[in-house]
Every structure is written in structure tokens, then in C-alpha cells.
A and B are shown apart, each in its own frame.
Chain A
Amino acid sequence: MDLNFYAQLLLNGIVIGVIYALIAMGLSLIFGVLEIVNFAHGEFYMLGAMLAYFLTANWGFGYWPTIVIVTAVAAALGYVLYEALLGSLRGESFERSILLTLGLSMVLQNGAVFLFTTTPKMMATGLSYSNIIVGELRLALSRLFALGLGLAAFSALYLILYYTRVGKAMRGVAQNRDAALMVGIDPRAVSRLAVAIGIGLSGLAGAALAPVYAVHPLMGFSFVFKAFAIIIIGGLGNISGAAIAAVMLGILESLIGGFLPLVLVDALAFVSMIAVLLLRPQGLFGRGVRV
């Protein structure tokens, strides 16, 4: 019984950690390639969840088409975001990029509050109440799907970065933008792709979590704050570091949540971030393996 309780907590932790990873990896990718901290990242997660809700509730789409459509729309939004706003910024105007994306986040978040109100919505899918039971362990199918999607997206990103030419180009730009330009890589094309992938991952995370948590306009806000902590813990711009830190945070939060008050769970991300900054400022996994 006791062991099962731990296993249950661990399992839930892994699921939530993988979703954190989806958001944090996108954030880290965008930072690595463009040196821009995207403060609007959480809003795209929220928009992804909102869109998933409306697709299933109002237009009767199934689970899988919804996931695909939301991811595609988010990636397209990322493309537009780069062309319309981020493309005109360069790495050295760090504060400008933050304030610009913060402005975007304010528009998206408050616009969503205005249009949809803050009433939480629950996305009902065919698998809402189905569970998989192994021994004494129960895992909601919607959580399991979220886990699967997260792992698939993580593997896809890894394969793109390490086994394709465009992935190599992305890593090249992240390491040294000028040198990459000199060997014939177009930083704009690479940055555009990185933003599209990052926002696409965020939208995917929103769609994957929409059946698990309530959907409302302020959901992105509380999530992105953990994503920021994660990318600092993992090392700014280090994608695998972000993924590992995300899963660790998810598991730790879940284990702590089983025994200690809620406030400690929320504070964990922040306290770990400060501890990492004090003890190992370059992040747990450093910048050696950036992007």
C-alpha cells in the first residue's frame, strides 16, 4: 500500500514533469537561438488549451485531430510572431525583447479574459473518466496520453536538433550567430523555425493538458513561472538540461505534495532556482551542451 502510494506520486510527477518539459524546452530553444526570453510563452500554452477546448466542445472534433490542429496553429502563430515582432530585435536588446513579449502577453491574457471571462472550463473528451489500472496504480488515460505526447515531442525535437541539417544549423546559430552566418547559415530562417517549434510545443502542451486541468485565461501565467525557474536550473539555453530539470521538478513537486503543505510545493521551483544560482550559476547542466 505504502509503496503503491509512492509509485502513484512518482507516476503523476513524471506526467506533470514531461508537460513542464514541453514548455521549458520551447522557451529554452528560443532563448538559445535568439537570446530572447519569451514572456508570452505561457500565453501560447493557454491559447493552445483554449483552442483545444473550443475545437472539442463547440465544433465536435475528436482528440487526435484536435491535438494536430492545435499544434499546427501554434507553430503558425510562432511563425507570425517572429515575422511580426521578434524578427526586428537583435540579441543585444535583451530588455526590449522582454518588454515586447511582456506586452504581447498582456494583450493575449487580458484579451482572453475579456473575450472568454475567467470562468474555468473543463474539456470533455471520450477518455475523460477512463483509467488504466495496473495492480493498485491508477492512471487517468488523459494523463497517460499527455505523457505519451510529451515523450514523442521530446524525441522529435532531439532528433531534429541532432540528426538533421536544419537542427545542426540551429545549434550553430545558438553557439555563434556571426560564425554561423559566415558559413552560409541564414540566422533569420533558423530563428523563425526555432520560434515556430517553441510556440508549437507550447500549444501542444496546452492541448495535451486541457483534458487534465481546467482551462482558463490565467492558466499560462502560473505555469510559465515554473518554466522560467526550470530553464535557469537546467542552464539558460540548454535544452536537454531544461528537459531533465523539468522532469525532476515535476517528480519532486508530486512527492512533496503527498506529504507537505501546498505552499512548499509552489515554492520548490523558486527555492531550487535560487539555490542553483548560488551554488552553480551556470545551471545544473551548464552551457557546455547548449541547445
Chain B
Amino acid sequence: MSADTKAGLRLNTGSQPKVGALRALSIALAVLALFAIPKLTGNEYWLALGVSFATMSVLAGGLNLVYGYTGLLSFAQVGFFGIGGYAAALLVIERDWSLWAGVAAGGGLATVVGLIIGYSSLRLSRHAFAIVSLSFALLCMIVARDWVELTRGAMGIPGLPAPSMNLPGGMRWRIVQPADFYYLLLGFALFAHALIYLVVTSRLGRAMRAIKQNEPLAQSHGLNPLAYKLLAIALSALLAGMVGGLFVFYLTIVDPSIFDFYYTETMLIMVIIGGPGSFWGVLASSAVLTALPDLLRFTTDLRMVLYGVVLIVAMLLFPGGLGGWLQRRRVARWRRPHPAAP
């Protein structure tokens, strides 16, 4: 709700260009710093954290696009992630495709599946979409485990080969070292977030937010809600599928645990804490929530119990998440009468 009062109020602040330049500069510096990390430290633990941040932030960013901006609660992200992973792995292993073609195919397959479940369930309601997306994610895990002829069952597909890329000038980049994967996934995450940012700041993003806030009103202004909802689902599925394809080659194995509900819960928490519909909030919470629990060395069970408690408390007390809370405070400050005014 408060996300759009922002757009109107921002016009009055006047210092827009300067803030914009400052922001662009700090983003550029942050990206440079992230890419410089492998040069500064060879510590594989930090690189592994970086890879997991890149992966989770793409998943959370996609979920934010679907849930935060368009208002569709989706549990299907992990299904797209795993479908992308399995498709890429199988195409590379069985059909000798290159990793890049495999990843693209994985993303494409995830998109098609996303459109199918989105189209069929959105005809009924957002409620049905939430339920269908959850069933879909659970089904994926079961199919991966039980369709042994295709997926090789619970043991998964181990020993995925190290991918390589032909660089211009006859060079070949073999992606074996942790630092290589770090660059690869971070680069993809950068691309994915840039794409999401372009969408949410464009006319498309405004239409999505309008549909989230008041669907009948948006419809009466000539927007077709179904088309925008499907667009959000398709884009998030594409990104999740592609990052899944890259991630399994980093792990060198794909097995049914790629569909684990753990990923869904983690990305939901990232979106909820960061604030649904807040681009930077979700990015920041992805970074914090990747690093923090790992540094604190929680076991997975306890971490999930803690996440559950966080989810319950957040839903009871701050439904807008951290981003929403900050936003409300900022709006409240703008609304306060100016002290100098008579």
C-alpha cells in the first residue's frame, strides 16, 4: 500500500538527480567489491557463501517479483529451480549439450511449466494459485525421486562435468575453481537483478503493483491482470530455472534434495524480512540471511524452527517486513508538518 504513495511523494523532494547519482555510484562500488573478493581472499568458505548468496538472491528476487510486486504467493520457485537443474544436467550428460544450451533449455522448460500452472490456477483465484504452486513443488520432489528411468531416482546424477566457455580471442575458460563458479553465479545474479530491476521500475512494474493493490480498479483502467501475472510468473520461472542449471554444476550433482522445502522457506523469509515489493530490501535480506545463520553455525532443524517463529512474528506484527516498516516510517516523516511552517 505504501509502496506507491512513495512515487507520488518522491516528486516533491527535489534532490532526485543527486540521490540517483550517489545511489548509482554506491551500487557500482558494491558490485566491484563483490567481484574483487576472490582476488583479495582465496578462502573457499567465503566464496561458497558468495555462491549461495548469488543463488538465493535470484530465487528471492523472482519470488519478490511474483509475490511482492504482483501479489501472488508462490511456492513454485523451488520447482522451477530444480526443473532447471535437472534439465540442464540431463541434457549435458545424456545429450552432450553444452552447459549454456542446457541452462537455457532448463530456463525455457521452467517457464513453460510456470505458464501452465499459472494459467490453469489463476482462472480460479489467487488462493488456488498458492495451493497449486505448493502441490507442484511437492510433486516435483516426488517425481524426481520416483521416476527412476528419467531422473535416476534418489541417488541423483553425480559427477557433472566442469563446464567451459569459449572466450573471444581463442581463449577457453574452464570453470573448475570455486572462484570461477563465484564469478559465474555472481555474474548471472547481476544480470537477473538488473532484469528484475528494469521490470519493476518500468510501466510493467507499475501495472503489477496496481493489480496487487486493487485488481478490479486496474482492470477498469484497461490492464489485463492475467497477462501481467503470467509475465511475472514466467520471468521468475525463467530466472529460477537458469540459476538452478548453473547451481547444480557448481554442486556437481543433482538429486531430489534440490526440490527441498528448505529453499522455499528460506526465500520466503528473505522476501518477508526484506519487505515484499521492496527491491533493495529483499536484496539486502538475502545477503544477511545467507551469511548470518551460516556464521552462527545453527543446525538446519533449529534454523528452520527459528525461521518459522520469525515468519509467525512477522505476520502478526509487521506484515510489510523490514522494507515495509522503513517505508511506513519514511512516509510518516514526510507527512509530518514542517516545523518551520507557521
Residues of the A chain whose Cβ atoms lie less than 8 Å from the Cβ of B234:
none
Question: Are B301 and A274 interface neighbours, CB within 8 A?
Answer: no
Task: Mark interface residues in B94-123 (1 if CB within 8 Å of A CB, else 0).
Answer: 000000000000000000000011001101
Residues of the A chain whose Cβ atoms lie less than 8 Å from the Cβ of B314:
99
In chain A, positions 268-288 with a C-beta closer than 8 Å to chain B are 269-270, 273-274, 277-278, 281-282
In chain A, positions 236-288 with a C-beta closer than 8 Å to chain B are 236, 261-263, 266-267, 269-270, 273-274, 277-278, 281-282
Question: Are B308 and A107 interface neighbours, CB within 8 A?
Answer: yes
Known: A229-B135, A267-B139. A104 touches B319 (CB 8 A): no
A137 in contact (CB, < 8 A)? no
Residues of the B chain whose Cβ atoms lie less than 8 Å from the Cβ of A277:
120-121, 123-124, 128, 132
Residues of the A chain whose Cβ atoms lie less than 8 Å from the Cβ of B305:
106-107, 110-111, 114
Contact among A108, A113, A225, A232 with B139 in the assembled complex (CB-CB below 8 Å):
A225
Question: Are B120 and A274 interface neighbours, CB within 8 A?
Answer: yes
CA distance A221 to B123 in the complex (A): 27
Contact among A103, A229, A266, A270 with B312 in the assembled complex (CB-CB below 8 Å):
A103
Question: Are B132 and A232 interface neighbours, CB within 8 A?
Answer: yes
Contact among A37, A85, A269, A274 with B117 in the assembled complex (CB-CB below 8 Å):
A274
A188 in contact (CB, < 8 A)? no
B341 in contact (CB, < 8 A)? no
Nearest opposing residue in chain B for A113, CB measure: B301
Task: Mark interface residues in A77-100 (1 if CB within 8 Å of B CB, else 0).
Answer: 000000001001000011110111
CA distance A108 to B305 in the complex (A): 8
Residues of the A chain whose Cβ atoms lie less than 8 Å from the Cβ of B132:
232, 273-274, 277
Question: Are A281 and B124 interface neighbours, CB within 8 A?
Answer: yes
Contact among B135, B138, B146, B312 with A85 in the assembled complex (CB-CB below 8 Å):
B312
B272 in contact (CB, < 8 A)? yes
Question: Are A270 and B136 interface neighbours, CB within 8 A?
Answer: yes
Residues of the A chain whose Cβ atoms lie less than 8 Å from the Cβ of B136:
270
B174 in contact (CB, < 8 A)? no
Residues of the B chain whose Cβ atoms lie less than 8 Å from the Cβ of A85:
312, 316
Question: Are A104 and B308 interface neighbours, CB within 8 A?
Answer: yes
Residues of the A chain whose Cβ atoms lie less than 8 Å from the Cβ of B300:
110
In chain B, positions 134-152 with a C-beta closer than 8 Å to chain A are 134-136, 138-139, 142-143, 146-147
B331 in contact (CB, < 8 A)? no
Smallest distance from the beta carbon of B262 to chain A beta carbons, Å?
Answer: 10
Question: Are A270 and B135 interface neighbours, CB within 8 A?
Answer: yes
Nearest opposing residue in chain A for B123, CB measure: A281
Residues of the B chain whose Cβ atoms lie less than 8 Å from the Cβ of A94:
126-127, 130
Question: Are A221 and B261 interface neighbours, CB within 8 A?
Answer: yes
Nearest opposing residue in chain B for A271, CB measure: B139
A102 in contact (CB, < 8 A)? yes
Question: Are A110 and B301 interface neighbours, CB within 8 A?
Answer: yes
B309 in contact (CB, < 8 A)? yes
CA distance A84 to B130 in the complex (A): 24
Task: Mark interface residues in B258-269 (1 if CB within 8 Å of A CB, else 0).
Answer: 000100010010
B227 in contact (CB, < 8 A)? no
Residues of the A chain whose Cβ atoms lie less than 8 Å from the Cβ of B67:
95
In chain B, positions 34-55 with a C-beta closer than 8 Å to chain A are none
Question: Are A228 and B135 interface neighbours, CB within 8 A?
Answer: yes
CA distance A263 to B140 in the complex (A): 10
Smallest distance from the beta carbon of B137 to chain A beta carbons, Å?
Answer: 9
Nearest opposing residue in chain A for B147, CB measure: A263
CA distance A32 to B135 in the complex (A): 20
Residues of the A chain whose Cβ atoms lie less than 8 Å from the Cβ of B135:
225, 228-229, 269-270, 273
B73 in contact (CB, < 8 A)? yes
Smallest distance from the beta carbon of A222 to chain B beta carbons, Å?
Answer: 7
Question: Are B128 and A88 interface neighbours, CB within 8 A?
Answer: no
Contact among B121, B130, B302 with A110 in the assembled complex (CB-CB below 8 Å):
B302
Known: A225-B134, A267-B139, A270-B136. A236 touches B146 (CB 8 A): no
CA distance A262 to B73 in the complex (A): 30
| Max chain B C-beta neighbours (<10 A), residue from A88, A96, A103, A104 | A103
Residues of the A chain whose Cβ atoms lie less than 8 Å from the Cβ of B304:
106, 109-110
Question: Are A98 and B302 interface neighbours, CB within 8 A?
Answer: no
Contact among A99, A114, A221 with B268 in the assembled complex (CB-CB below 8 Å):
A99
B28 in contact (CB, < 8 A)? no
Question: Are A266 and B139 interface neighbours, CB within 8 A?
Answer: yes
B162 in contact (CB, < 8 A)? no
B310 in contact (CB, < 8 A)? yes
In chain A, positions 52-71 with a C-beta closer than 8 Å to chain B are none
CA distance A110 to B261 in the complex (A): 11
Question: Are A37 and B131 interface neighbours, CB within 8 A?
Answer: yes
Some 6 contacts from A to B, beta carbons below 8 A apart, are: A88-B316, A108-B308, A228-B134, A261-B147, A277-B124, A277-B132
- CB-CB nearest 6 A-B residue pairs: A103-B311, A106-B308, A107-B308, A110-B304, A103-B312, A263-B146
Given contacts A229-B135, A270-B135, 16 further A-B contacts (CB under 8 A): A95-B73, A95-B130, A99-B314, A102-B265, A102-B268, A106-B308, A108-B308, A109-B304, A114-B299, A114-B301, A228-B135, A232-B124, A262-B146, A263-B143, A273-B135, A277-B121
Q: Give residues in A with beta carbon < 8 Å to B.
A: 37, 39, 85, 88, 93-96, 98-100, 102-111, 113-114, 221-222, 225, 228-229, 231-232, 236, 261-263, 266-267, 269-270, 273-274, 277-278, 281-282
Q: Give residues in B with beta carbon < 8 Å to A.
A: 67, 71, 73, 116-117, 120-121, 123-128, 130-132, 134-136, 138-139, 142-143, 146-147, 261, 265, 268, 272, 299-302, 304-305, 307-312, 314-316, 319
